[in-house]
Amino acid sequence: MSTLTPTPSRALDTAPLLSVRHLVKEFPIRSAGLLRKQIGVVHAVSDISFDIAAGETLGLVGESGCGKSTTSRAVLHLQPATSGQVFFNGVELTTVGKTGLRRLRRDMQLVFQDPFASLDPRITVNEIIAEPLRIHGLYGDKAAGRRQVADLMATVGLKPEHGNRYPHEFSGGQRQRIGIARALALKPKLLVLDEPVSALDVSIQAGVINLLEELQDEFGLAYLFVAHDLSVVRHIADRVAVMYLGKIVEIGSRDALFEHPQHPYTQALISAIPIPDPRRERSRERILLRGDVPSPANPPSGCRFRTRCPKFLTLTFEQQQKCINEEPLLVGRGPGGMPTSEEAAHRAACHYAESLRVL
């Protein structure tokens, strides 16, 4: 656009809903003695940046210990980041203070993995769902509040007449729906979903995934969908970010990332997922990784994946030096010259990134 004064609405449309910039989260390692002297640092999340647009789903995937859950908590400022910024609707979370943060939290809600541990067993479902409304003074009089709660239960596919029951009377899938109803109560713009279906059996999981998709269409919600199950992420996400040892190693649109993964770790990860199709499974080649994930207290120099990287083994000694000494940046790696916009959207942190079909 050539105009120098964009209208505010136009600016709102283009700005991402959530912007994470250079987010770092470190946890101190302390000695066992009386002084509990700090003797090291766990680099749980090391300088990651990403955006989520309104109504969009970003899948954040990786294996245990890669920092994906820490990222989700830092995004909500439940655990303040060590450094870096989180902008929600253009407002930086660290600058708004306690009251401002509470107001912002209306718009960003969290759904937990374990539907058994995240619901208070001593209060009824009605009260669980009403709680956020009461905290933010939106419950209104008794009739209005009850109506809101009943509507929320119907929205997530529960029968409102079951609102007087306690969480233990519901199955895992129903409890997860209660957790979603609670998160929806304040009409948020962003839901952070931390492994929301991992604890559920597959036949129940499908219903919750469908519900999340319907809610997104209906309310225009944005999701930060944290999961280790790539099949679920392939189904639900618009874009996907892959984390390894505290860093995003690859980010891109869903189909580009799954069909043309560029980072050797993403390729290994996708090739390792079993597909429920015997003929395809028989003909598939797996990329087996050697060894285990290094400790995040002492990550490898340069590229953090190099100690397990199948590509690293094929490189010459000179090429390997680059992996050892120079940290690869997360950039679009199109063939030569300036990356096109699509290549810029699909970025991989590997010096020798090369697209490979593994499915």
Partner 1 sequence: MSAENPYAEAVGAADPGGAALSVRDLTVTFPGDDGQVRAVRGVSYDLNPGEVLGIVGESGSGKSVASMAVMGLLPKTARITGSVRFRGRELLGLSEKEMTSVRGNKIAMIFQDPMTSLNPVYKVGWQLSEAVLAHHSVSKEAARKRALELLEIVGIPSPDKRIDQYPHEFSGGMRQRVVIAIAMANDPDVIIADEPTTALDVTVQAQVLEALRAAQRETGAAMVLITHDLGVVAGQADRVLVMYAGKPVEIGPIDGIYYQPRMPYTVGLLGSLPRLDQRTQDKLTPIPGTPPSVVNLPPGCPFAPRCPLRTDICLRVEPALLPVLGAEHQAACHHSDQLAHESAMEIFSTDPNADPGQGPRDQNHEQGPDQNRQSGAAQ
Task: Give the CB-side neighbour count of residue 158, counting CA atoms within 13 A.
Answer: 31
Residues 231-250 that bind partner 1 (CB under 8 A): 231-232, 234-236
Beta bridge partners of 347: 251, 332
Give me the residue label for tokens 């669980």. 128
DSSP 166-226: -GGGS-HHHHHHHHHHHHHTT--SEEEEESTTTTS-HHHHHHHHHHHHHHHHHH--EEEEE
Work out which of 286, 295, 301, 324 binds partner 1, going by CB under 8 A.
286
Work out which of 37, 102, 159, 187 binds partner 1, going by CB under 8 A.
159
In the chain, the N- to C-terminal Cα span, in Å, equals: 40
Q: Which of 108, 50, 147, 91 lies closest to 345 in space, CA to CA?
A: 50
Beta bridge partners of 41: 28
Q: Is 284 in the site for partner 1 (CB under 8 A)?
A: yes
Q: Is 272 in the site for partner 1 (CB under 8 A)?
A: yes
Integer Cα distance of 120 and 322 in angstroms: 52
Q: Considering beta carbons, is residue 157 or 339 the nearer one to partner 1?
A: 157
E strand spans, the chain: 18-30, 38-52, 57-61, 83-88, 91-92, 108-111, 190-194, 222-227, 239-244, 247-253, 331-332, 347-348
C-beta of 266: minimal distance to partner 1 in Å?
Answer: 11
Work out which of 276, 335, 336, 337 binds partner 1, going by CB under 8 A.
276
Q: Is 205 in the site for partner 1 (CB under 8 A)?
A: yes
Q: Is 326 in the site for partner 1 (CB under 8 A)?
A: no
C-beta of 359: minimal distance to partner 1 in Å?
Answer: 5
DSSP 51-82: EE-TT-EEEEE--TTSSHHHHHHHHTTSS--S
Residues 51-110 that bind partner 1 (CB under 8 A): 63-64
Q: Considering beta carbons, is residue 98 or 290 the nearer one to partner 1?
A: 290
**78 phi, psi to nearest 5 deg:** -75, -35
C-beta of 292: minimal distance to partner 1 in Å?
Answer: 5
Stretch that binds partner 1, among 76-84, 95-103, 169-177, 336-344 (CB under 8 A): 169-177
Stretch that binds partner 1, among 15-23, 78-86, 289-297, 314-322 (CB under 8 A): 289-297
In contact, 52 and 84? CB cutoff 8 Å: no
Integer Cα distance of 12 and 29 in angstroms: 42
Q: Considering beta carbons, is residue 37 or 159 the nearer one to partner 1?
A: 159
Stretch that binds partner 1, among 34-42, 141-149, 273-281, 311-319 (CB under 8 A): 273-281
Q: Is 357 in the site for partner 1 (CB under 8 A)?
A: no
Q: How many residues bind partner 1 (CB under 8 A)?
A: 60
Q: What is each CA distance from 317 to 302, 314, 328, in whole angstroms?
A: 15, 10, 17
Q: Is 204 in the site for partner 1 (CB under 8 A)?
A: yes
Q: Is 169 in the site for partner 1 (CB under 8 A)?
A: yes
- The footprint of partner 1 (CB under 8 A) covers 63-64, 154-155, 157, 159, 162, 165, 168-171, 173-174, 177, 201-207, 209-211, 213-214, 228, 230-232, 234-236, 255, 258-259, 268-282, 284, 286, 288-292, 359
